[in-house]
């Protein structure tokens, strides 16, 4: 260390820094007085060179780290700068996802220009908001191929709302079929009763496609299933006989479809088809039998009540007869006494 300081002092002296520059003279003089010291300017130069070397080394490492992604984006005309890639690292953004999404958008012919296009900043913002960047880009590309109006803002809003925007676009292009009732909940049939009391077990299939205009805030698939099931039960219940439904099941599906059950939902109902109908129990007859049995039990109860009342009345009558007999015997017992009293009083004579 002393050798380095001594060499530095000799270099300063040989360069004439302390002699030619007046404002450097005190420092040089101080260095000469110390003998083994170093000037402030030299120390500043050394520190500056060290900091510059450190910064250059860090920049070199960052460039080496992101050079592959930058070249990939550059060759694809994806417009992702090196400074953006370095900034993504500091912002905790995965640059590979952003670059791949930008390349995918560019190759698909999407607008990547400022300010309304699929820009790097907008992709980063959606990533930081917790969105699925790749699925959003895939959804926009699928919508563009299917000629569906879907821009980045709309797709990002759908994604951040918790809906799968790619699945929504695919369902718009290729409608899906849902069972009514939902077989996943362990119920195989809808049970409905016609006016003649016969039960019908029905299973329907509803073909729906996604309504992108109402996807945010619209009711889900469970609501559609519930509405369709309620309408089928109501339509069968308004039928005069179960035979009418068995003869023309399409009347039920047409009546249900005409009710506009997809209002305020995330789906548009394409068709409602009755997949299966089975005749169940005669609910009306069973109810009549149950009612007859109930009436019989009521009549028996009433008869038993009347019998009990008659028996009670009979016992009361018997008690009253016994009471009257006792009174009669008592009265008969007093007749001789009355006759004797009459004889004694002279009110009665024997001729």
CATH topology of domain 176-285: Tetrahydropterin Synthase; Chain A (3.30.479)
DSSP letter string, 138-150:
HHHHHHHHTT---
- What is the rounded distance in angstroms from the CA atom of residue 119 to the CA atom of residue 80? 9
The residue extents of the domains of the chain are 1-38, 66-173, 176-285
- Record the tokens describing residue 49, joined without a space: 């060179």
> How much is the pLDDT for 64?
67
Query: What is the model's pTM?
Result: 0.61
Residue-wise pLDDT tens digits, 218-238: 888 899 999 999 999 998 888
Residue-wise pLDDT tens digits, 40-58: 788 888 888 888 888 877 7
- What is the rounded distance in angstroms from the CA atom of residue 247 to the CA atom of residue 254? 14
DSSP letter string, 312-327:
HHHHHHHHHHHHHHHH
Q: pLDDT (tens digit, 0 to 9) for every residue of the chain, 351 residues total?
A: 333 334 444 433 444 434 433 334 444 433 444 444 567 788 888 888 888 888 877 776 666 677 888 888 888 888 888 888 888 888 889 999 999 999 999 999 888 887 778 899 999 999 999 999 999 999 999 999 888 888 899 999 999 988 888 999 999 888 999 999 888 888 888 888 888 888 899 999 999 999 888 888 888 889 999 999 999 999 888 888 888 888 888 888 888 888 888 888 889 999 898 888 888 888 888 888 888 999 999 999 999 999 999 999 999 999 999 998 888 888 888 888 888 887 777 776 666
Asked whether the beta carbons of 266 and 218 are under 8 A apart, the reply is: yes
**Taking Cα atoms as reference points, which of 205, 318, 334, 198 lies closest to residue 269?**
205
Question: Dmax over Cα atoms in the chain, in whole Å?
Answer: 196
Asked whether the beta carbons of 115 and 91 are under 8 A apart, the reply is: no
Q: Which residues pair with 347 in a beta bridge?
A: none
């Amino acid at each position: 260390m002393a050798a380095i300081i001594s060499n530095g002092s000799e270099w300063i002296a040989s360069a004439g820094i302390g002699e030619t520059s007046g404002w450097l003279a005190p420092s040089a003089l101080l260095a000469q007085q110390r003998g083994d010291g170093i000037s402030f300017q030299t120390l500043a130069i050394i520190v500056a060179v060290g900091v510059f070397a450190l910064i250059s080394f860090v920049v070199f490492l960052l460039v080496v780290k992101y050079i592959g992604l930058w070249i990939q984006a550059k060759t694809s005309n994806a417009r992702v700068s090196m400074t953006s890639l370095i900034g993504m690292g500091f912002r905790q953004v995965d640059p590979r996802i952003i670059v791949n999404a930008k390349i995918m958008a560019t190759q698909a012919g999407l607008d990547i220009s400022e300010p309304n296009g699929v820009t790097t900043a907008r992709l980063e913002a959606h990533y930081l908001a917790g969105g699925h960047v790749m699925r959003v880009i895939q959804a926009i590309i699928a919508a563009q191929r299917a000629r569906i109006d879907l821009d980045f803002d709309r797709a990002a809003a759908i994604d951040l709302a918790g809906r799968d925007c790619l699945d929504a676009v695919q369902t718009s292009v290729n409608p899906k079929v849902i069972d009514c009732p939902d077989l996943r909940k362990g119920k195989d049939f809808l049970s409905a009763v016609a006016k003649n009391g016969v039960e019908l077990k029905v299973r329907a299939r509803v073909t729906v496609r996604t309504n992108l205009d109402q996807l945010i805030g619209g009711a889900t698939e469970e609501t559609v299933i519930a509405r369709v099931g309620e309408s089928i039960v109501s339509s069968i219940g308004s039928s005069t006989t179960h035979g009418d439904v068995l003869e023309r099941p399409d009347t039920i599906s047409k009546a249900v479809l005409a009710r506009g059950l997809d209002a305020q939902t995330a789906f548009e109902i394409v068709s409602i088809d009755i997949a299966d109908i089975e005749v169940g129990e005669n609910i009306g007859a069973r109810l009549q039998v149950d009612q007859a049995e109930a009436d019989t039990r009521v009549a028996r109860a009433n008869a038993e009540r009347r019998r009990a009342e008659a028996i009670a009345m009979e016992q009361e009558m018997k008690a009253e007869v016994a009471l009257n007999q006792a009174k009669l015997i008592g009265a008969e017992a007093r007749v001789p006494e009355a006759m004797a009293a009459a004889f004694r009083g002279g009110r009665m004579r024997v001729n």
